[in-house]
Structure 1
Amino acid sequence: MEAAADLKDTASLTLKFEFNPKLGIDNPVLSLAEDHDPSELWSLERPRFCLLSKEKGRTFGFHLQQELGRAGHVVSMVEPGTSAQRQGLRAGDRILGVNNHVVEREDHAVVVRRIQASGPRVLLTVLAQHVHDVARAQQGDDACLCPTLGPGVRPRLCHIVKDEGGFGFSITQGHRGPFWLVLTTGGAAERAGVPPGARLLEVNGVSVEKFTHNQLRRKLRQSGEQVTLLVAGPEVEEKCRQLGMPLAAPLAEGWALPTKPRCLHIEKGPQGFGFLLREEKGLDGHLGQFLWEVDPGLPAEKAGMQAGDRLVAVAGESVEGLGHEETVSRIRAQGSCVFLTVVDPEADRFFSMVRLSPLLFLESTETSASPQDTCSASLVETKNPPVEDIAMPPDSCGSRQCFLYPGPGGGYGFRLSCVASGPCVFISQVTLGSSAARAGLQMGDVILEVNGFPLGGENDLERLQQLAEAEPPLCLKLAARSWQGLEAWNPQGLERTGL
């Protein structure tokens, strides 16, 4: 009833057709009636982008729901006076993408985790419900309505340490932004990954879009001996212009960052894991889960845990905002082998300064030895896989292909499990921000083929053990997800989450 009332408010929208020379067809465009702002137009070719910021102690200001049996995630309510309302998010909008991930067919819980794991800022790609319905009718269910940026064509978060030549760049353009950087050949900025002709977007997490030249110079001087810049090269700037996509920080790749999140693989020993989890206030004044009393010689210390680390994810899933008991339950649910993502106080301060979640930079900071980012040595056998994590056979729901390239750490960013009772190998975990996530792998997807070789025989394990050594790209043929299984898992038919 709530969503129906909201949609009724938009009934004054009118549909008109404009010839699209690129497609050679009449392109439907929804325009607002006289009682709305006439400058607002929604085209089926170009979704809207809402860059939301979470204020301290507050949420983004919207509620998300999913109707089981129908793919998609619908905004059911937008709270007045919040970032969601100010950025134009409306009740009835369908969320197509979170940062650089297409989420239209992902589970409700997965989409919620992606938004929560984005930290204080998130970029949502949305279409109004009625626009979405027309687009689907015109282009078909298989069409991808959500634009994304390809690998290497994203803004960069670059940390620059001053040397004898300074930061290694000068600033060009007028009295007030936008600003572009002119690099010194071989200078500190170039070594830190700043591309030639880069546009400067942020300095230490602060937008310089409205800065004057003097304000920018003052901000850089205040940075001292090191500074973190958000920049976009000409190719990225042009691509975002074509897509109508903002040059947003949550889209960024990390380059030469001074610190990083750490992924710990801990196997329980005879004396336990060897650490204590305690809830206390962090640097931002909010409650968090901290690791203390790391016992010398026990598994936690051997895995690299340090007293004072803050826990940010369990099994790749964010625990930001969770209470102590729920966090402990998630750790215990992994059994005798746990995967934790942590940040030390220095990393905590850095990511707090740039106003981004460390989970957005897992792939660009993980090492090749990290179990989170490998796909061969993590095969787990299970007799009773959860119904929501198993896809239907390909003859009932189709299949798709995904091409993956290894990340900077050398891995692809997913884990596998197999069913003991039959030939079924499926994706049991996808690391946020990894190559696997960008390619669209989802928990529960069944692997049908690897590099053209079908699975389902006696040599599956041997072939899977060779995945990490295969020449990229890695080509996977996957069975699509099953909505029938999801309905059996949650018969209520509707799930809503405040964000």
Structure 2
Amino acid sequence: MKYSNTGIEDVMEYPRFTFNPKEGIDNPALVISDDPDPNPCPVPRLCQLKRAEGQGFGFVLRGVQGKRGHVIREVEPHSPAEVGGLRDGQRVLEVNQEYVDNMEFPELLRKIQRCGLRVFLLVLREEEYEQAVSWCLDLQEVARSNRGDNHDHKARLCHVTRNPVQGLGITIRHVQGQKGMYYLSTLTAGPAERAGVRNGDKLIWVNGVTVANLTFSALNKIFKRSSIHVTLLVIDRESESVCIKRRIPVVADLAECLSLAHRPKTMDLVQGPDGYGFLLRQEKLRVSGRIVHLLREVEAGSPAAQAGVEDGDLVLAINGEAVETAAHELIVHKIRESGQSVSLTTITLKGRDYYRQLDLSPLLFYDEDIKEAQNGPDDRGNLLYPTGPRLCVLDREAVGFGFNLCCAPDKPGTFIGQVASGGSGQRAGLLRGDAIVEVDGQNVEDRSLEEVGALVKAGLTTLKLLVRERTEGEHLGRNGPQETQTAVSSSAL
């Protein structure tokens, strides 16, 4: 364009160029470039937060009135939240790789509480979030594209029970010249393979101890000390490659939980004329000095006893809300404000020690257990199995098969009585009250309790039980076990 005294003249100036047959056309005025993407995809950030016992994460989570999403606010200086990368205004897309943007606010709070001392949050800056919403982007796809669709590329948590003949069913291979690099070979259909370990898996940790800095002899000692069972975190080569590429840490919190011992249990209690029938007591453990909240003095025939509450159960959650570290008075208040019914999630002291050794919250994978139950939870919050006959294969352990037998007076049939928490029977799917149809292929429906017991005891290393759900006509009397520290305070409920 040229400017003149009379205004603007349309004068086109063509650039000069020369043609060189060897070099092609010399045209400096012609510049070819890609247009910038007007809608760049927002990039979420993965933040790992780790707090100490009794410490908070150091941020406030708020819902947005009349809008979707959950906002990070009031990040405290030098807190686990700030150190982990959280900033004011960020929006939470995922918690431990589960999409939560469309989750109800109370449910999201409970989920973060259940993570225990460590949580992974995938967050998006506020302006990026608002822009993505205005562009109608699928935020779940945004989260997935950031980490890749790696649901099939996760580490695995596997609890392996030693077999008297096969042992653990694994061989450890050390990569020469590379400290802490261990791979596993599995015995076909052996205990490790049945627990979810695959041939060629890389070993990340054993019983909560990371193997990267262990010598082969030190690792061997850990396995030898685990006389009955061992919990492994493993990953295959392809999955590890995906995690490295996506910068996803290989940790138990983000692993696929295939098997763990000592599962928590949830019981729904309906208040009777005299209350629930148990005493909630705050106690100080002698060895560790930790303060815990235990259920004591469970009254026979009370709503608590009928729901399956056992003396010495440690309280983890009230109505789905984690309360393990809450004050005694607050827990009592939550139970009482619940009205005529309450849901208790508990675990044995032995079970809680097991999860502490693994540095995991016992509630971390509990929702996963409920979702994977084939018929969903029943009206007491217990997991249901198919109502038809079920084949349960049990491995004998040092303490036996992990269950006992019972029968109804003057009535045919033998039933499963107590099932040891975390034992072989529980892992195989046995439920208290199951009617036994066959023992190692022999029909026992018309056999006496003594005969069935003899067949069970005859099982050397494995036992195959065909069981079915007890019918209403096969009523059994209550045969629940009674299970346990210095009392600090207690309340009758």
Shared fold (TM-score, shorter chain, > 0.5): yes
Residue 187 in 1 paired to residue 190 in 2? yes
**For residue 276 of structure 1, what is the amino acid of its counterpart?**
L
Amino acid of the structure 2 residue aligned with 1:342: T
2:107 is the alignment partner of 1:106: no
**Residue 358 of structure 1, CA deviation:** 1.5
Q: Which residue of 2 aligns with 1:130?
A: 127
Q: Which residue is equivalent to 1:228? A: 231
**Match runs of 1:3-22 below 5 Å:** none
Is the contact between residue 316 and residue 372 of structure 1 (CA under 8 Å) also seen in structure 2? no
Change (3 A) 1:192 1:142: closer
Q: Which residue of structure 1 aligns with residue 257 of structure 2?
A: 254
Counterpart in the other structure of 2:169: 168
* CA distance in 1: counterparts of 2:289 and 2:44, whole angstroms: 37
Deviation at residue 309 of structure 1 after TM alignment: 0.6
What percent of counterpart residues are identical? 35
Cα distance in 2, alignment partners of residues 135 and 59 from structure 1: 31
Structure 1 residues 314 and 372: CA distance shift in structure 2, 3 A:
farther
Shift of 1:224: 4.3
1:288 aligned to 2:289? no
Secondary structure of 1:146's partner? helix
**1:299 aligned to 299, 303, 308, which one?**
303
Answer yes or no: is 1:58 the counterpart of 2:55.
Answer: yes
Match of residue 157 from structure 2: 157
Quick check: 1:89 aligned with 2:86? yes
TM-aligned CA deviation for residue 342 of structure 1: 0.4
Partner of 1:198: 201
Hey, what's the Cα distance between the residues in 1 that align with 2:374 and 2:280? 22
Q: 1:369 to 1:142 in 2, by over 3 A?
A: closer
**Alpha-carbon RMSD:** 3.7
CA distance in 2, matches of 1:185, 1:322: 46
State the one-letter code of the partner of 2:306: K
- How do 1:18-57 residues align onto structure 2 when only pairs under 5 Å count? 26=37, 44=42, 46-57=43-54
3-state SS in 1 of match to 2:142: coil
Tell me, what secondary structure is at the counterpart of 2:365? helix
Superposed CA deviations along residues 97-136 of structure 1, whole A, max 9, x for unmatched, are 1113222233443322211111122111122333334444
**Which residue type is aligned with residue 158 of structure 1?**
C
Contact 1:261-1:341 at 8 Å conserved across structures: yes
Question: Which fold has the larger relative contact order, with Cα–Cα distance below 8 Å and residues 6 or more apart in sequence?
Answer: 1
User: Counterpart amino acid of 1:251?
Assistant: L
CA contact (8 A) 1:99 1:124 kept: yes
Q: Counterpart in 2 of 1:415?
A: none
- The amino acid across from 2:282 in the alignment is E
C-alpha separation in 2, matches of 1:172 and 1:25 = 50
Equivalent residue number for residue 323 of structure 1: 327
Contact in 1 for aligned 2:277/2:303 (Cα 8 Å): yes
| Aligned residue number for residue 341 of structure 1 | 345
* Residue type at the aligned position of 1:171: R
User: What whole-Å deviation, never above 9, does each CA across 1:162-207 have from its counterpart, x for those lacking one?
Assistant: 3344432223435234543222223331122213332322222233
CA contact (8 A) 1:172 1:182 kept: no
Contact 1:72 1:95 in 2 (8 A): yes
Q: Is the alpha carbon distance of 1:142 and 1:260 closer, same or farther for their aligned partners in structure 2, counting shifts above 3 Å? A: closer
Quickly say closer, same or farther: Cα 1:330–1:409, change in 2 above 3 A: farther
Whole-angstrom CA distance in 2 between matches of 1:137 and 1:366: 36
Give per-residue Cα distances to partners, 1:265-291, cap 9 Å, x unaligned: 223333332101122345764433221
Deviations 1:285-332 (A, max 9, x none): 443322111112222122221111111112222223332233223323
Q: Which runs of 5+ in 1 are unaligned?
A: 1-17, 30-42, 379-406, 412-499
Displacement after TM superposition at 1:335 (Å) = 3.1
Instruction: Give the partner amino acid of 2:169.
Output: G
In 2: Cα distance, 1:268 partner to 1:26 partner: 62
Q: Distance in 2 between matches of 1:298 and 1:194?
A: 43
Is the contact made by 2:377 and 2:384 (CA closer than 8 Å) also made in structure 1? no
Distance 2:305 2:185 in 1: 45
Distance in 2, matches of 1:287 and 1:268, equals: 27
SS of equivalent residue, structure 2 residue 198: coil
Return the alpha-carbon distance in structure 1 between the equivalents of residues 384 and 143 of structure 2.
Answer: 25
Question: Does the aligned pair in 2 maintain the 1:315–1:340 contact within 8 Å?
Answer: yes
Determine the C-alpha separation between the residues in 2 that align with 1:221 and 1:114.
36
- Tell me what 1:140 maps to: 137
* Cα distance in 2 for residues equivalent to 1:220 and 1:308: 30
Separation (CA, whole Å) in 2 of partners of 1:76 and 1:271 = 45
CA contact (8 A) 1:50 1:89 kept: yes
Partner Cα distance (2:138, 2:370) in 1: 36
The worse-fitting range, judged by mean Cα deviation, of 278-287 and 365-374 is 365-374
Alpha-carbon shift at residue 220 of structure 1 (Å): 3.5
Distance 1:142 1:259, change over 3 A: closer
State whether residues 363 and 409 of structure 1, in contact with CA within 8 Å, keep that contact through their aligned partners in structure 2: no
Pair 1:133–1:327, CA change in 2 (3 A): same
Identify which of 348, 357, 363 aligns with 2:361.
357
Alpha-carbon shift at residue 263 of structure 1 (Å): 1.5
The amino acid that maps onto 1:293 is E
